[in-house]
């Protein structure tokens, strides 16, 4: 059993006044370790909601979710925080760096919460920053960096804790096309090095860099294909139903 | 996460917005510095009062006659009979004529004229600078002689020796026979330094003062104090046929009454200062709530990368505590500076700093920060990561 993500019948609703909005309607999805999945779909289809569920930032109304074999339902806030810290690296569209901290300190942050000592933290942060070509910029504040550089720092931060899963919600959404290509290339490389990646985008060109594309519409998975041609098991299942 | 890292993190957040931090701390600064200063003033006053009474013999009793009239008359010779009793060491009955005009050539001013006997000087722990004090003979012959307080002497005789000169008190001539040394402290508003002392009977007759108002009585020893007080009570009750015509106070009672009066006032002021400290705490809570709503996104980011509830709670709690204890520290320094400066500006106002009050005020301010930071910090820690992240 080497699945990183196992979602079964995930339902998420929001209450807007008297109306109940069904954002995720019984979504089931399995992602194997080392895979690179792009989730695509029109705006408002529930992509971010799905990713927040995978990232343990939000809790579904029903359904079960196993992350790296660990059942996450009924977990305490603390347990979820610890899982996020150890297993997940987030890359956000808005970078989400802390503006008062330097690049280096931002990268150190997840390691502070996992209780790694100051010296080791610093060393590891420097190594990751260097790997992303940001070794020279460690002492810059986010505001002193370009968008592409900020996203590199954010990726470094996501990598610093050595997570098993990287989640990226429109990571190039705030970047120009040249830097977008660079950041995307980085993500592809990370996958080649063995990281499991879930990437959300509404740009098919970007999605084509993944190994697998899952399309979501109105809170339902409507297609799921492997880019090497072979359709994934899930889709066949869905089609045959 | 280690505490030191939390404190460093809090300091950085605080220093990131120095103006707001100072405004937030202001309440605590004012609160702590006024508590420290007021306590220093209160304790200074107490020390001053204690020092004044230390100068008196510890076995002194002051007998005050209340009210006037024939029934309240005490006879000097009758009173002095009491000196025969073993428990009584010495007696100095006095008559007073406050704010009398005393004049030498062109110099004149108002002084307190005291008519008394030869025992008075020793009982007031006064000493002569020159000449002599009253003697038995002065009383017996009702001589017109005067002993001057040090300030009286310098006012009437600037750069001149008063001995042997003639001063007029309310128009009547007196020979100056002695000048007392400077004493400084005052008891019950009368100071030896600004007085003119004349023989008791002379004063009564010349100035038409009817009755002996205050009598200083010294018990033979400290152990005789209670007995002496009982004797005096019995004697005066018998004389006045009532126990409400007089009041006896020993030195401790006199001192305690004054200490109590001065500390009541200080305590009231201190409680006002404590209220301002609490108001400062509410100010901290207010700013922390604003800070948290401004930094909701930061909280979301921290949670998304693995911050637990207690990490966030501690972060903001430490921030509030650091702000308030920093304010407390500044308040403490300011309070010490004020306590040090006040006696320089107004020499009559003594102050006494006490370390423990400073430490308590500082700890209290830190506590205020923790208590008032608890609610905002708890609120921050309970934010759901997704809500906090989506916030902008
Ligand atoms: N807290 C909320 N309360 C109510 N409705 C919400 C809430 N969060 C999301 N929604 C709704 O859920 C739907 C799906 O939102 P989601 O962010 O998952 O879409 P998305 O696929 O990521 O869209 P986009 O491509 O624009 O980012 C939207 O219609 C949105 O309005
Ligand atoms: Mg989205």
ipTM associated with this complex:
0.91
| Strongest mean pLDDT among B240-244, B260-264, B270-274, B334-338 | B334-338
**pLDDT tens across B149-184, in order?**
998 999 999 988 999 999 999 999 999 999 999 876
Q: Is B317 helix (H, G, I), strand (E, B) or coil?
A: helix
Most A CBs within 10 A among B16, B296, B303, B305, hence the mutation to make, goes to B305
Cβ contact, residue pair A113, B1, below 8 Å: yes
**pLDDT tens across A112-135, in order?**
999 898 899 999 999 999 988 898
Q: Are strands A196-200 and A36-40 parallel, antiparallel or unpaired?
A: parallel
Comparison of pLDDT for B9 and B52, the residue scoring more: B9
**Contacts for A47-52 with beta carbons within 8 Å, 24 or more apart?**
A47/A169, A47/A200, A47/A202, A47/A216, A48/A169, A48/A200, A49/A12, A49/A23, A49/A24, A49/A219, A50/A10, A50/A24, A50/A200, A50/A216, A51/A167, A51/A169, A51/A198, A51/A200, A52/B386
Cβ contact, residue pair A90, B304, below 8 Å: yes
pLDDT of residue B185 exceeding 70: no
B166: left (phi over 0), alpha (psi -120 to 50) or beta: beta
Least confident of A107-111, B100-104, B243-247: B243-247
- In chain B, alpha helices (H): 3-15, 18-54, 76-81, 120-123, 136-140, 150-156, 200-206, 225-240, 251-294, 296-304, 309-345, 355-381, 385-390
Do the beta carbons of residue A119 and residue B5 sit within 8 Å?
no
Mean pLDDT for the stretch of residues B251-280: 81
Mean pLDDT for the stretch of residues A173-201: 91
pLDDT of residue B53 exceeding 80: no
**pLDDT tens across A193-237, in order?**
999 999 999 889 899 999 999 999 999 999 999 887 544 444 434
Q: Does A82 touch chain B (CB under 8 A)?
A: yes
Tokens standing for residue A13: 């609703």
B387 CA: nearest ligand 1 atom: 1
Identify the pLDDT of residue B68: 66
- Which residue has the least CA distance to atom 13 on ligand 1? A44
Residue B57 pLDDT level (bands cut at 50, 70, 90): low
Identify the pLDDT of residue B186: 56
Comparison of pLDDT for B39 and A236, the residue scoring more: B39
- Which residue has the least CA distance to atom 27 on ligand 1? A43
Residue A145 pLDDT level (bands cut at 50, 70, 90): very high
Most A CBs within 10 A among B1, B303, B304, hence the mutation to make, goes to B304
Tokens standing for residue A211: 């190994």
| Strongest mean pLDDT among B43-47, B260-264, B288-292 | B288-292
Percent of chain A with pLDDT over 70: 94
Identify the pLDDT of residue A241: 39
Do the beta carbons of residue B195 and residue B113 sit within 8 Å?
yes
Q: Does A110 touch chain B (CB under 8 A)?
A: yes
For B306, the closest of A52, A82, A98 (CB atoms) is A82
Q: Are strands B145-148 and B195-199 parallel, antiparallel or unpaired?
A: antiparallel
Q: Which residues of B touch A14 (CB under 8 A)?
A: none
Secondary structure (DSSP) of B9-20 = HHHHHHHTSHHH
Of B229, B240, B217, the C-alpha closest to B69 is B240
Of B273, B287, B309, the C-alpha closest to B388 is B309
Residue B6 pLDDT level (bands cut at 50, 70, 90): confident
Residue B253 pLDDT level (bands cut at 50, 70, 90): confident
H/E run at residue B98: strand B88-104
Do the beta carbons of residue B48 and residue B347 sit within 8 Å?
no
Cβ contact, residue pair A82, B308, below 8 Å: yes
Q: Which residues of B touch A86 (CB under 8 A)?
A: 306
Domains and CATH numbers, chain A: 32-60+74-240 (3.40.50.300)
Comparison of pLDDT for B68 and A131, the residue scoring more: A131
pLDDT of residue A31 exceeding 70: yes
Pocket probe for ligand 1: among A46, A93, A222, the residue whose CB has the most ligand atoms within 8 Å is: A46
Mean pLDDT for the stretch of residues B127-145: 92
Cβ contact, residue pair A113, B308, below 8 Å: yes
- Which residue has the least CA distance to atom 7 on ligand 1? A14
Q: Does A109 touch chain B (CB under 8 A)?
A: yes
Do the beta carbons of residue B158 and residue B106 sit within 8 Å?
no
Tokens standing for residue B57: 């013999």
Query: Could you say which DSSP state residue B83 is in?
Result: G
**pLDDT tens across B309-364, in order?**
999 999 999 999 989 999 999 999 999 999 999 989 888 788 888 888 888 888 88
**pLDDT tens across B284-322, in order?**
889 889 989 989 999 999 999 999 999 999 999 999 998
Do the beta carbons of residue A222 and residue A27 sit within 8 Å?
no
- Which residue has the least CA distance to atom 12 on ligand 1? A23
- Residue A19 Cβ inside 6 Å of ligand 1? The answer reads no
Beta strand residue intervals within B162-210, DSSP E:
166-169, 172-180, 195-199
Of A67, A47, A46, the C-alpha closest to A56 is A67
Least confident of B254-268, B276-290, B322-336, B371-385: B254-268
Query: Could you say which DSSP state residue B70 is in?
Result: G
Identify the pLDDT of residue B347: 81
A45 CA: nearest ligand 1 atom: 21
Window 115-144 of A, Cβ < 8 Å to B = 115, 118
Q: Which residues of B touch A81 (CB under 8 A)?
A: 303, 306-309
Round to whole Å and give the CA distance between B197 and B199.
Answer: 7
Round to whole Å and give the CA distance between B258 and B264.
Answer: 10
Q: Which residues of A touch B311 (CB under 8 A)?
A: 113
Q: Does A112 touch chain B (CB under 8 A)?
A: yes
- Which residue has the least CA distance to atom 25 on ligand 1? A43
Ligand 2 centre to CA of B317 (Å) is: 34
Mean pLDDT for the stretch of residues A144-170: 93
pLDDT of residue B56 exceeding 70: no
Round to whole Å and give the CA distance between B147 and A138.
Answer: 87
- What are the backbone angles phi and psi of residue B174, rounded to the nearest 5°? -135, 140
Identify the pLDDT of residue A238: 40
* Count of beta carbons in the 10 Å neighbourhood of residue B119: 20
pLDDT of residue B111 exceeding 80: yes
Identify the pLDDT of residue B187: 54
- What are the backbone angles phi and psi of residue A115, rounded to the nearest 5°? 80, 25
- Residue A177 Cβ inside 6 Å of ligand 1? The answer reads no
Query: Could you say which DSSP state residue B222 is in?
Result: G
- Residue A58 Cβ inside 6 Å of ligand 1? The answer reads no
- Residue A157 Cβ inside 6 Å of ligand 1? The answer reads no
Helix axes B18-54, B309-345, angle to 10 degrees: 50
Mean pLDDT for the stretch of residues A175-191: 90
Round to whole Å and give the CA distance between A104 and A108.
Answer: 6
Q: SS3 for chain A, per residue?
A: CCEEEEEEEEEEEEEECCEEEEEEEEEEEEEECCCEEEEECCCCCCHHHHHHHHCCCCCCCEEEEEECCEECCCCCHHHHHHHHHHHEEEECCCCCCCCCCCHHHHHHHHHHHCCCCHHHHHHHHHHHHHHCCCHHHCCCCHHHCCHHHHHHHHHHHHHHCCCCEEEEECCCCCCCHHHHHHHHHHHHHHHHCCCEEEEECCCHHHHCCCCEEEEEECCEEEEEEECCCCECHHHHHHHHC
Q: Return the bridge partners of B109, or none.
A: B102
- How many Cα atoms are found within 13 Å in the side-chain-facing hemisphere of B64? 9
- Residue A12 Cβ inside 6 Å of ligand 1? The answer reads no
For B304, the closest of A57, A82, A100 (CB atoms) is A57
């Amino acid at each position: 059993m080497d699945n990183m993500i196992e979602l079964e019948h995930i339902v998420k609703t929001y209450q807007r006044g008297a109306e109940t909005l069904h954002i995720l309607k019984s979504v089931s999805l399995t992602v194997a370790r080392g895979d690179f999945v792009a989730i695509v779909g029109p705006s408002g289809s529930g992509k971010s909601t799905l990713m927040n569920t995978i990232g343990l930032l939000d809790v579904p109304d029903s359904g079960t979710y196993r992350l790296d074999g660990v059942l996450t339902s009924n977990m305490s806030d603390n347990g979820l925080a610890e899982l996020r810290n150890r297993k997940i690296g987030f890359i956000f569209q808005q970078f989400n760096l802390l503006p008062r901290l330097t690049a280096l300190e931002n990268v150190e942050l997840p390691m502070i919460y996992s209780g790694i000592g100051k010296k080791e933290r610093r060393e590891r942060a420097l190594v990751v920053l260097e790997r992303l070509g940001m070794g020279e910029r460690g002492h810059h504040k986010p505001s002193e960096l370009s968008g592409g550089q900020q996203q590199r720092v954010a990726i470094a931060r996501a990598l610093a804790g050595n997570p098993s899963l990287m989640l990226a919600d429109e990571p190039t959404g705030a970047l120009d096309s040249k830097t977008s290509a660079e950041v995307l290339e980085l993500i592809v490389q990370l996958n080649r090095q063995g990281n499991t990646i879930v990437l959300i985008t509404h740009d098919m060109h970007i999605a084509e860099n993944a190994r697998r594309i899952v399309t979501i519409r109105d809170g339902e998975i409507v297609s799921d294909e492997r880019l090497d041609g072979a359709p994934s098991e899930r889709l066949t299942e869905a089609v045959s139903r | 996460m280690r505490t030191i890292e939390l404190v460093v993190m809090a300091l950085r957040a605080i220093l990131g917005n120095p103006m707001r931090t100072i405004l937030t701390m202001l309440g605590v600064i004012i609160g702590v510095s006024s508590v420290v200063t007021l306590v220093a003033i209160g304790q200074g006053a107490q020390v001053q009062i204690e020092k004044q009474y230390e100068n008196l013999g510890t076995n002194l009793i002051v007998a005050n006659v209340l009210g006037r009239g024939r029934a309240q008359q005490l006879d000097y010779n009758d009173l002095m009979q009491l000196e025969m009793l073993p428990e009584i060491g010495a007696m100095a009955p006095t008559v007073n004529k406050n704010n009398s005009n005393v004049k030498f050539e062109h110099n004149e001013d108002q002084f307190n004229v005291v008519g008394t006997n030869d025992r008075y000087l020793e009982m007031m722990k006064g000493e002569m600078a020159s000449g002599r004090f009253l003697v038995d003979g002065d009383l017996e012959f009702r001589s017109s002689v005067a002993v001057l307080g040090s300030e009286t002497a310098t006012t009437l005789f600037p750069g001149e020796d008063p001995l042997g000169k003639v001063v007029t008190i309310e128009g009547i001539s007196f020979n100056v026979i002695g000048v007392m040394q400077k004493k400084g402290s005052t008891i019950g508003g009368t100071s030896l330094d600004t007085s003119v002392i004349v023989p008791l009977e002379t004063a009564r007759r010349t100035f038409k003062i009817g009755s002996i108002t205050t009598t200083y009585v010294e018990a033979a020893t400290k152990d005789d104090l209670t007995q002496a007080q009982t004797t005096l009570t019995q004697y005066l009750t018998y004389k006045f046929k009532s126990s409400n015509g007089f009041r006896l106070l020993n030195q401790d009672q006199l001192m305690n009454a004054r200490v109590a009066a001065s500390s009541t006032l200080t305590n009231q002021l201190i409680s006002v200062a404590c209220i301002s400290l609490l108001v400062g705490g509410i100010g901290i809570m207010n700013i922390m709530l604003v800070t948290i709503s401004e930094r909701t996104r930061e909280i979301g980011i921290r949670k998304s990368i693995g911050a637990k509830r207690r990490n966030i709670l501690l972060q903001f709690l430490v921030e509030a505590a650091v702000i308030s204890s920093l304010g407390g520290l500044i308040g403490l320094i300011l309070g010490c500076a004020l306590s040090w400066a006040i006696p320089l500006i107004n020499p009559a106002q003594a102050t006494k700093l006490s370390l423990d009050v400073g430490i308590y005020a500082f700890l209290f301010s830190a506590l205020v920060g923790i208590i008032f930071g608890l609610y905002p910090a708890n609120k921050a820690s309970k934010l759901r990561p997704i809500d906090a992240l989506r916030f902008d």
